[in-house]
Every structure is written in structure tokens, then in C-alpha cells.
């Protein structure tokens, strides 16, 4: 295109994103990024020079809080004059603290983050970050999101917020009440994702088993999580659907039975436990006891013997004695689960747990965490060994990692084979053969066939 003399096409402004925390944050970053694209911005990698850097924060662990300053410095290194914006859970919980970080220009709370482009009229650097935050009670509306994390997998947000009052958790303070997307909108987003050629969708939210609550601006459940699962299973073009994390008390038998015979849902569940001691579960104000957890695991394994089950567990909660911890360790050791996500308890402001006595020394917390991480490695190894000789379907990912391509089976066994770009985002029938020194599984193709 030619421009009249003296006129040049204006270079589009560049924006870069950094996401801390959970899959839900990744899906929301993608939605925010699309709003920038609609305004004519060009998205670049966070390591490149950009006009605006957006950091989507997390507050689940102390580490995420501390990393924020490092990420701001990274942005300043790439462009010292760039406009730096903080959004996300930490931005809602402690906006003034983030605004005081050197280099931060704008902090947006829970309701403002999806209106981010409305705040871009003036990109002049500020001496002190400007804060636009709300009372968390105002975060009562729903904004749908989905992300394309890579070419093979997308995160689809179906629910936000939480009505549970666990004593250690700040998420209700950061994200507000439980509310859901409409079923129609979730299905429409599912269709959009499948049209992009993405083979796997991971359902995400804060408490997805609570799906349906707040769908019409009230607490009435027009639809349930089971309705959602059944409806998504009928969307054409979606090869795989994966449930990310679901509370044990909200994972019903009917849902497990449906997943077992589903077209697209895969036999992989991630179920938070947090402690194997009923005394600790009560102190945490969890909504179940360990007996219910055992029942959920047994039900899954009865209907899907090859199912992968992941577990969240917290160590070092106030009042957790050596006996309580050993209860948890032995409980998990005997349970037929596949891997653990281990969190070392850290005090969060404005939570009941932060005021509890009998604080567990940091050194003891770290030791317990190390023990459970070791148990997790053994559990994963045992699960992989139980799958050897079986035929599964692998979905290959898009990254060349030191000359190899990685992929996951439907039941979350990680495999690798020499890099071949033709394999990216394709599904293949394989037979799992042996576990390599790196802990990943090697395989043979059941039949050479055209990529799906």
C-alpha cells in the first residue's frame, strides 16, 4: 500500500504478557491479550522490547509474591520506559503493595482487569503506580476466557470465584463469589477452540465442580457440572477434554460414570486432598473427611482402572504434628493415586490460619515437603510401570526439547521420541514399552497411520 507523501504508517504499539500461577490465569491472560489485539496492539514475547508489559499475578504461595519484583525488573531491562501493568489475584489482595514496586505504573483489581484497554489513554510513566481496585463484593459478574497455551492444548474457563471458606486460602478474597459461564457460552468457546485445530481442551476455574452457580446472576443452579460435561462431549471437533481440578465432595458418581464411557473426556482426575488427617482437614475447614476421598479414588479406579489421579496436598499447616503428617504420608502411600502436587504452607494475610497457634517451624515444613515429593516420584514411577505393555493414544506437543518431542497419553503418561516436526499436534496409537533414565516412557507405534 502506498501512502500520500509525508505520511507514514504508524508502527503498532507492542504489548507483552507474563502469567504467574494457575491454568485459570493463563486462560484470562489470553482473553486480555485478545482485547489488546482488537485495539491494534502487536503481541511480542516478554523478553522483547514492548511499550506495555502486563503481569498477571498469583497469591497462592509466597514465592509468587516475591517473583513479581523480579519480573518487573525483567520488563525494565527490555525497555526502561515501558508502561508496566499488574493484574490478577495479588493485584486485588494487595494493590498498594504492588503499586509501590519500582517501575509499576498501573494496578487493576478483579473487576477492572478485563477493561484494561480503557486505561491506556495515557502511557506516561508514573512515580507511583495508579490503583483501580474494587471491594471484592463487586466482583459478582462473569467474564468468559479461553487460552491457546500452545498448538495442542487450550484452557477453557467455565467458572470463577469460590464460596468455600478454607482457613488458609485467599482466593475468595481475590476472586469473589462463585459464579459460572452460561452453558451456551462455554459450548461456543469450545467450538471456537476446536476450529483452531487444537486437539485438547482443559476445563478450568477456581471451583469447577460448583459449575452452574451464578450462571444467571443468582445462586440457582440451572445447570450442573454433569450437564456441562455431557454437553461438551457432543461438541464436534474436540478430540480430548480434560477436567483440571475438582473438589472430592463435588465429584459425583454420575460424573465418573459418564467420563468412563465418554467420547472425548479422558481418564485423568486431579483431586485436592490437602491433608490425610481428619483433624487437620477440620482445622482447614475442608468440606469432606479422608473417608470420602478414599471412596472417590476407589470409584474412579473401579470404573477406569488405568485412570491417572493427581493429588494436591499441603504440609506444615498450623497444628500439624509429626503424627498428623505421618497420617497423611501413610494415607497417600497406601492410596492408588498417580502423583502429588505438594505445597508448603505459607501464612497469608487476612486468613484464619495465619492467626492460629502451634506454628510449624519452616525447617520442619521443608522436610515434610521433601518427603512427600519423594513419595510423589515413587507414585508416578509405579503408575508408569503399571501402564507398560498397554496401548494408548498420544498427543504430541509442539516443542523441540534437546532433539526430542514429548507427548501425553489420554491418562497422562508422558512419553518422548526423537524430534519430528510432522508429529506436532497429531494423535497416534502407541504401545508403552519402557521407562527411560529420565523417567519418561518410550513406545512403539501400534500402526503407522496418517496423523489425525
Residues of the chain above pLDDT 90, percent: 49
Measured CA to CA, the distance from residue 260 to residue 253 in angstroms comes to 11
Measured CA to CA, the distance from residue 75 to residue 429 in angstroms comes to 43
Q: What is the mean pLDDT of residues 293-297?
A: 97
What spatial distance separates the first Cα and last Cα of the chain, rounded to whole Å?
40
Quick check: 92 pLDDT over 90?
no
- Round the average pLDDT of the chain to a whole number and report it: 86
How does residue 229 score in pLDDT terms, banded at 50, 70 and 90? Answer: very high
For 18-27, how does the pLDDT look when each residue is reduced to its tens digit (9 = 90+)? Answer: 988 777 878 8
For residue 96, the model assigns a pLDDT of 82
Quick check: 89 pLDDT over 80?
yes
- Specify which residues 432 forms β-bridges with: 443
Q: What is the mean pLDDT of residues 300-322?
A: 96
Go through 85-114 and write b for each residue having 16 or more CB atoms within 10 A of its CB, e for each that does not: bbbbbbbbbbbebbbebebbbbbbbbbbbb
Measured CA to CA, the distance from residue 50 to residue 48 in angstroms comes to 6
Q: How many CA atoms lie within 13 A of 241 on its CB side?
A: 31
List all residues 6 or more positions away from 266 whose beta carbon is below 8 Å from its beta carbon. Answer: 240, 241, 242, 259, 410, 411, 412
**88 — alpha (psi -120 to 50), left (phi > 0) or beta?**
left
Residue in the structure block whose three cell numbers are 483431586: 271
For residue 450, the model assigns a pLDDT of 43
List all residues 6 or more positions away from 288 whose beta carbon is below 8 Å from its beta carbon. Answer: 247, 248, 249, 281
What's this model's pTM, rounded to 2 decimal places?
0.79
- Specify which residues 431 forms β-bridges with: 391, 444
Quick check: 8 pLDDT over 50?
no
Phi and psi dihedrals of 104, rounded to 5? Answer: -85, 130
List all residues 6 or more positions away from 400 whose beta carbon is below 8 Å from its beta carbon. Answer: 419, 421
Measured CA to CA, the distance from residue 7 to residue 21 in angstroms comes to 44
Instruction: Report helix, strand or coil for 271.
Output: strand
Measured CA to CA, the distance from residue 263 to residue 43 in angstroms comes to 36
CB contact at 8 A, 300 and 307: yes
For residue 217, the model assigns a pLDDT of 56
Quick check: 315 pLDDT over 70?
yes
What distance lies between CA 308 and its chain's CA centroid?
Answer: 17
For residue 276, the model assigns a pLDDT of 97
Measured CA to CA, the distance from residue 396 to residue 406 in angstroms comes to 6
Nearest to 332 by CA among 276, 282, 270, 293: 276
3-state secondary structure 274-286: ECCCHHHHHHHCC
Q: How many CA atoms lie within 13 A of 368 on its CB side?
A: 27
How does residue 3 score in pLDDT terms, banded at 50, 70 and 90? Answer: very low
CA distances from 61 to 239, 245, 283 (A): 34, 18, 19
Amino acid at each position: 500500500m502506498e501512502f500520500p507523501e509525508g505520511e507514514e504508517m504508524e508502527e503498532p504499539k507492542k504489548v507483552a504478557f507474563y502469567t504467574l500461577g494457575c491454568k485459570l490465569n493463563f486462560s484470562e491472560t489470553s482473553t486480555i491479550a485478545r482485547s489488546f489485539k482488537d485495539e491494534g496492539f502487536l503481541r511480542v514475547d516478554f523478553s522483547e522490547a514492548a511499550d506495555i508489559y502486563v503481569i498477571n499475578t498469583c497469591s497462592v504461595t509466597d514465592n509468587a509474591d516475591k517473583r513479581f519484583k523480579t519480573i518487573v525488573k525483567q520488563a525494565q531491562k527490555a525497555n526502561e520506559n515501558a508502561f508496566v501493568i499488574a493484574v490478577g489475584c495479588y493485584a486485588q489482595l494487595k494493590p498498594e503493595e504492588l503499586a509501590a514496586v519500582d517501575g509499576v505504573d498501573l494496578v487493576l483489581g478483579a473487576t477492572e482487569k478485563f477493561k484494561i484497554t480503557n486505561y491506556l489513554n495515557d502511557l506516561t510513566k508514573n512515580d507511583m503506580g495508579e490503583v483501580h481496585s474494587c471491594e471484592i463484593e463487586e466482583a459478582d459478574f462473569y467474564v468468559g476466557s479461553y487460552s491457546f497455551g500452545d498448538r495442542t492444548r487450550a484452557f477453557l474457563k467455565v467458572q470463577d470465584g469460590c464460596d468455600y471458606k478454607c482457613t488458609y486460602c485467599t482466593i475468595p478474597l481475590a476472586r469473589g463469589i462463585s459464579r459460572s459461564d452460561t452453558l451456551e457460552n462455554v459450548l461456543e468457546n469450545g467450538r471456537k477452540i476446536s476450529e483452531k485445530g487444537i486437539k485438547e481442551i482443559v476445563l478450568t476455574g477456581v471451583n469447577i465442580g460448583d459449575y452452574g452457580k451464578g450462571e444467571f446472576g443468582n445462586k440457582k443452579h440451572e445447570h450442573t457440572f454433569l450437564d456441562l460435561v455431557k454437553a461438551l462431549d457432543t461438541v464436534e471437533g474436540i478430540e480430548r477434554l480434560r477436567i483440571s481440578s475438582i473438589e472430592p465432595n463435588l465429584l459425583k458418581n454420575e460424573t465418573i460414570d459418564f467420563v468412563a464411557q465418554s467420547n472425548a473426556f479422558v481418564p485423568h482426575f486431579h483431586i485436592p486432598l490437602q491433608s490425610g488427617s481428619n483433624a487437620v482437614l477440620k482445622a482447614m475447614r475442608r468440606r469432606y473427611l479422608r473417608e470420602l476421598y478414599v471412596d472417590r479414588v476407589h470409584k474412579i479406579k473401579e470404573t477406569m482402572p488405568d485412570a491417572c489421579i493427581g493429588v494436591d496436598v499441603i504440609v506444615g499447616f498450623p497444628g500439624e504434628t509429626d503424627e498428623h503428617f505421618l497420617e497423611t504420608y501413610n494415607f497417600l502411600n497406601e492410596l492408588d493415586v498417580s502423583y502429588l502436587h505438594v505445597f508448603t504452607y505459607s501464612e497469608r494475610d487476612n486468613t484464619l490460619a495465619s492467626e492460629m497457634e502451634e506454628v510449624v517451624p519452616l525447617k520442619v515444613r521443608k522436610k515434610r515437603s521433601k518427603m512427600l515429593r519423594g513419595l510423589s516420584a515413587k507414585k508416578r514411577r509405579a503408575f508408569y510401570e503399571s501402564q507398560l505393555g498397554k496401548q494408548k493414544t498420544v498427543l504430541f506437543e509442539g516443542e523441540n526439547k534437546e532433539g526430542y518431542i514429548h507427548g501425553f497419553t489420554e491418562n497422562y503418561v508422558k512419553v518422548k521420541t526423537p524430534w519430528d516436526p510432522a508429529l506436532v499436534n497429531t494423535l497416534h496409537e502407541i504401545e508403552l514399552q519402557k521407562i527411560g533414565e529420565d523417567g519418561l516412557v518410550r513406545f512403539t507405534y501400534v500402526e503407522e497411520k496418517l496423523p489425525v
